[in-house]
């Protein structure tokens, strides 16, 4: 007979990780799994089940809840499961799409709309000590700034968002070159940074924190796919003071720190884990 008695599920530390089968999401899951019960979601149901099964065989505790993060139904399922599992302590939104992976409309819906919906979903679950990291990108710092587009993306749940964005993105592309997908990506990631800044006050009132991380070029499947499309990724690496690709662990360790009590005075901030790329290229038309 156990002297400790039954486990009080309310005391379980829960980590919710989106994009969990990606190079970054999976690395974060392994780090947080040492101290949290894992709730994992991803759009690739087969890979997610395989990853969660592998984690459980290794002694972690993980649940796989696959689905489309742009679907509000999935958000409700995630919230309900987290509530049943314990106290939601850590959230990492590693779900996202790059210009090589989707059209601009889907990029905006996944990177900005779904991210904002996730914040809405988890806010009622926050307790003192809860912390969130949203994955942004150095593209959010280096791309052209457009005040009209930023204002639209600050209110991403409006029904006419895509229709309102289309002429503005086409105009931006005509002026600055590049592709509509590329500009949509950089602006959608800047919107994530701005989202964390805006929400930090509401979260602070709950004793919780929210920050973003802007990675540079990472040697993940997404990063390598972007590199195959052209020379921009390599040009970014060549301009980076660190002189190398980043890797998933570079970002995951930063996320681990931001989610920990050691970062209790950090909220509403964006951490650039970019090898110095933004410092080197700030003000240039990259």
The model's pLDDT over 191-214, given as tens digits with 9 standing for 90+, comes to 999 999 999 999 999 999 999 999
pLDDT band at 4 (very low <50, low <70, confident <90, very high): very low
Rounded mean pLDDT of 146-154? 97
DSSP letter assigned to residue 246 = B
CATH number of 10-276: 3.40.50.720
* 283: Cβ contacts below 8 Å, ≥ 6 apart: none
Q: Average per-residue pLDDT in the chain? A: 92
- pTM of the predicted model as reported, rounded to 2 decimal places: 0.92
User: 280: how many CB neighbours lie within 10 A of its CB?
Assistant: 16
What average pLDDT score do residues 232-256 get? 85
Residue 286 has pLDDT above 90, yes or no: no
Radius of gyration of the chain, Cα coordinates, nearest whole angstrom: 19
Confidence check: pLDDT of 89 > 50: yes
Q: Which stretch of 96-100, 199-203, 269-273 has the lowest confidence by average pLDDT?
A: 96-100
- Looking at the chain, the whole-number percentage of residues with pLDDT higher than 70 is 90
Q: What are phi and psi of 282, to 5 degrees?
A: -55, 130
- The full set of domain ranges for the chain reads 10-276
pLDDT band, very low/low/confident/very high, at 173 (cuts 50, 70, 90): very high
Outline where 58-99 has alpha helix (H).
Answer: 72-85
Q: DSSP E strands: which ranges in the chain?
A: 13-18, 37-41, 62-64, 87-93, 131-135, 209-215, 270-273
Instruction: Quote the pLDDT of residue 150.
Output: 97
Q: What integer is the mean pLDDT of 83-112?
A: 96
């Amino acid at each position: 007979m156990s002297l400790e008695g039954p486990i009080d599920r309310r005391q379980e530390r829960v980590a919710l990780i989106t994009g969990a089968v990606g190079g970054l999401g999976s690395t974060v899951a392994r780090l947080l799994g040492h101290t949290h019960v894992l709730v994992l979601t991803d759009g690739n149901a087969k890979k997610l089940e395989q990853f969660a099964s592998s984690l459980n065989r290794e002694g972690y505790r993980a649940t796989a809840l696959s689905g489309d993060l742009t679907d509000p139904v999935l958000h409700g399922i995630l919230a309900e499961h987290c509530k049943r599992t314990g106290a939601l302590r850590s959230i990492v939104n590693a779900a996202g799409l790059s210009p090589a992976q989707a059209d601009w409309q889907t990029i905006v819906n996944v990177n900005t709309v779904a991210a904002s919906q996730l914040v809405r979903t988890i806010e009622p679950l926050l307790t003192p000590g809860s912390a969130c990291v949203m994955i942004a990108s150095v593209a959010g710092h280096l791309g052209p700034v457009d005040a009209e587009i930023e204002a639209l993306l600050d209110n991403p749940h409006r029904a006419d968002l895509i229709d309102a964005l289309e002429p503005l993105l086409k105009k931006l592309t005509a002026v600055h070159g590049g592709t509509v997908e590329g500009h949509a990506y950089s602006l959608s990631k800047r919107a994530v940074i701005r989202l964390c800044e805006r929400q930090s006050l509401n979260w602070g009132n709950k004793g919780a924190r929210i920050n973003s991380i802007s990675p540079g070029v990472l040697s993940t499947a997404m990063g390598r796919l972007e590199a195959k499309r052209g020379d921009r990724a390599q040009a970014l690496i060549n301009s980076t003071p660190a002189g190398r690709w980043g890797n998933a662990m570079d970002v995951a360790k930063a996320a681990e720190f931001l989610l920990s009590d050691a970062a209790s005075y950090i909220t509403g901030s964006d951490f650039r884990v970019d090898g110095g790329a933004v410092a080197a290229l700030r003000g240039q038309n990259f």
